[in-house]
Structure 1
Amino acid sequence: MALNYTLYHYDGSRNSVVITDMGGKELIIDCDKAETQVVFEEPNDAGILARLAREEPASYVSFAMRPGGLQDYVDVWNELN
């Protein structure tokens, strides 16, 4: 039985989420670039995505890879809070 895994972690020095597969290949999601189209109601709302990247990097990647995903996440977060 072959085990396949993927590791996700936040790299604060690059402000990026790094995805590493079993073979050691990396995919780097630059948070600054991923968030360029996101419109925040308040400037402090940028912390919503920073926290998501640090605490749940796999979820951050999931949202970042969808069209409008990060904006939708911020919008829902603002509605709930």
Structure 2
Amino acid sequence: MNNNLNFWFGMYNPATDSIIVNTGENAILVFCCKECNSSVIFDNPTDIVYLYRLAEESPLLYAKLALKENGLQDYVDAMNER
């Protein structure tokens, strides 16, 4: 995956539970949160709220983490250590 993507704009769409990102190259990326979240192992099932809050409040960060190997897992693990 190209880690040098330039994300211009991103938004969370609750109706489709997805993040839509404009890359500025006449292209968009769509991240299905349900699919991305399914790769994360939660210590507590309610920890999924960390990912939904991230998707709603910081969709570009969510997208960037989703593109990194273990990015979303590392985020949830870090939130649990707070």
Q: TM-score range by the shorter chain?
A: 0.7 to 0.9
Unaligned runs of 5+ in 1: none
**Which amino acid in 2 is paired with 1:16?**
S
How far apart are residue 6 of structure 1 and its match? 1.5
How far apart are residue 77 of structure 1 and its match? 0.4
CA distance in 2, matches of 1:5, 1:61: 9
1:47 to 1:5, Cα distance in 2 relative to 1, 3 A: closer
What residue number does 1:36 align with? 38
TM-score, normalised to structure 2, is: 0.84
1:62 to 1:21, Cα distance in 2 relative to 1, 3 A: closer
Unaligned runs of 5+ in 2: 1-5
1:25 to 1:38, Cα distance in 2 relative to 1, 3 A: same
- Which structure 1 residue ranges, 4+ long, deviate > 6 Å from structure 2? none
TM-score, normalised to structure 1, is: 0.85
What residue number does 1:50 align with? 52
What residue number does 2:80 align with? 78
RMSD between aligned residues: 1.7
What residue number does 1:68 align with? 70
User: Is the radius of gyration larger for structure 1 or structure 2?
Assistant: 1
